[in-house]
Amino acid sequence: MSLTLLTVGAMLGWLVVGESSVVQPDVVGMKNAPPSVQHLFGTDQFSRDVFARVLTGGAISLSIGLFAVLFSTVVGTTYGLVAGYAGGRVETLMMRLLDGFMSIPRVLLLIAVLTLWRPGLAGLILLLGATGWFGVARLVRAQVLSIRNADFVVAARALGASPVSMLGRHLLPNVAAPVIVSATLGVGNVIALEAGLSYLGIGAQPPTPSWGSIFLDGIGYGVSAWWVLLFPGLAIVATVLSFNILGDALRDVLDPRQVHVARPLPELTPELPHP
Amino acid sequence: MGQRALAARLWQSLIVVAVVTTISFFIIRSAPGDPFAYDNPRITPAIRAQLRAEHGYDKPLPQQFALYIWALAHGDLGYSVSKQGPVSRSIAETLPRTLALTGLSLVLSLLLGVIIGTLQAARRDGWFDRLSSGFLLFFYSLPDFWGALMALLVFAQWWQLFPAGGMVEEAVHDYLAPWPAFLDRLRHLVLPVASFTLLTLAGIARYQRAAMLEVLPSDFVRTARAKGVPERSILWRHALRTGLTPIITLLGILFPALLGGVLFIEKVFQWPGMGLLAANAIIALDYDLVTATVIVGSLMVIVGNLLADFLHAVLDPRVRV
């Protein structure tokens, strides 16, 4: 599948191209050279090969996306499980707090924190994760509500299951399917978001090439260096598209309610549309 | 919605506003540095200290928070260091421009998205459904800023159909007659609105299609068909009314995303709205202005959600909570 191809491409690219993404062969003569056989995607303002940078950037963008979503999925699932299972005042309080978090525009918050604190790559991943779990939490809590009083839950409780085993062994497996789908869709989302932040100059910092930060070297040149803007963008679109298609496919497979309707149900897509 | 439910909903929103204000204030104020830490050899430490004292940055955080809330209660959003004026003035100046851009794009994309989604569901897996689904998924996967950037590159720089940015042609706009002046404004609106609409539309149409697919097999649709209601009227009057409610719920999720999107659109097209204001304020380390834009942005989301809830209650008689 295209996604596997992208991942393999990014990994291989990293091995093969390695250093050449930061090599500057001829800063004067090769500056902003258009695509050619030697440089498939042309070169940027520092004469670096854009193709090599796109391949290397892929490894960085993909890992940012995967780790951030892993983080937000774990936090969101835990929060949703606890809120849904606890019920009563605890639940009300937790959900109100969540409403508050959700009302803060994610992009504005990220920009503010990133600019004022200037954390490194790890910090960026953590922040992307920390601002991305609200939808998952809401989704999981809704799922838990629907099975909170199911017979098997009541039975497990009657048998004296501890809260931890209740959440982990009995409730978690039943909320896993939509969580997996939303995580898949989330990866594409985060990659696009990181690219946007890099475009504002606060994502992954140069010379580290994430797909977003490659742009920055072409932004001042517009049409005269269109290849620096086009190719990394196409890489992002291809990746996000792959994750979205994968997410849609997973939803069709994983959701038993979808036997007759082979397409997404509205309630199951927590995050929409762009960051 | 009954009066008590209404009051409860408003009260809830108020609590959310309080939570948001507190979170934004502490996140921004507890950051290292302050608006007066910039490099300027002509500003001595004494002047810095005086500036800090003047704007209350020398006090402990809780006290700063109390002062901020006190001022906020009196309608004072603080002082913008970069704009050299009250924050409320900058917000008042830029907010309408952002609302115009977002509102126009939202209305257009809702209209088009609902129509496209409904048509897709009506002829499921037909040629129109397949073709448009493919296109929509592509636009849905485009990062906002990149889509806008490509539009700018193609339609403003390479093929100079539209102006590259701004809200009016600065140099001549003030001297134009009313009609050309209006056209000038319109020309500047086309690219930002078109790209924003296209990017938002994709998500809406996907939802609408899914919602309609769920509604169409319902009993009431079959009943209508059995009664001999024309197919067109079944689709656009009977089914659509029910199929619209998920979209209204979607709006609640959509608003924060829209606000993030508009920031990138404004940045790319240099549209002088609140998004661009926020982006510039952050670069200038203008704390009060940043805090205010985050709070106002959240307020827009909260008000938007309230409106969506009311609309939901109006459209769906089952939800008279």
Q: Cβ of A230 and B150 within 8 Å?
A: yes
Q: Which of B14, B28, B110, B141 to mutate to test the interface with A (most CBs of A within 10 A)?
A: B141
Give pLDDT, residue A161. Answer: 79
Contact between chains at B253 and A230 (C-beta distance less than 8 A)? no
Query: B105 falls in which pLDDT band (50, 70, 90)?
Result: very high
Q: How far apart are CA B263 and CA B10, in angstroms?
A: 28
d(CA A239, CA B141): 9
Distance from CA of A139 to the nearest CA of B (A): 12
Contact A99/B at CB under 8 A: yes
Give me the pLDDT at residue A274, please: 43
> Which positions in chain B touch A260 (Cβ < 8 Å)?
217
Are B101 and B269 in contact by the 8 Å Cβ rule? The answer is: no
CB-CB under 8 Å, B282 with A107: no
- Chain A interface, best mutation among B11, B12, B145, by max A CB count within 10 A: B145
Q: Do B27 and A112 touch (CB under 8 A)?
A: yes
The whole-number average pLDDT for the span B150-160 is 83
Give CA torsion, residues A10, A15, A17, A21, to 10 deg: 70
A153, pLDDT greater than 70: yes
Looking at residue A26, its pLDDT comes to 54
Q: What is the pLDDT of residues B186-200, one digit of tens each?
A: 888 888 999 999 888
- Distance between CA atoms of residues B31 and B289, nearest Å: 15
Least confident of A51-65, B33-47, B99-113, B249-263: B33-47
Count CB atoms within 10 A of the CB of residue A241: 18
Structural Rg of chain B based on CA atoms:
24
A2-254: what CATH class? mainly alpha
Question: Which residues of chain B make contact with A271, given a CB cutoff of 8 A?
Answer: 253
Of B138, B263, B282, the CB nearest to A115: B282
The C-alpha atoms of residue B291 and residue B69 are separated, in whole angstroms, by: 12
CB contact set of B309 (below 8 Å; sequence gap of 6+): B1, B9, B252
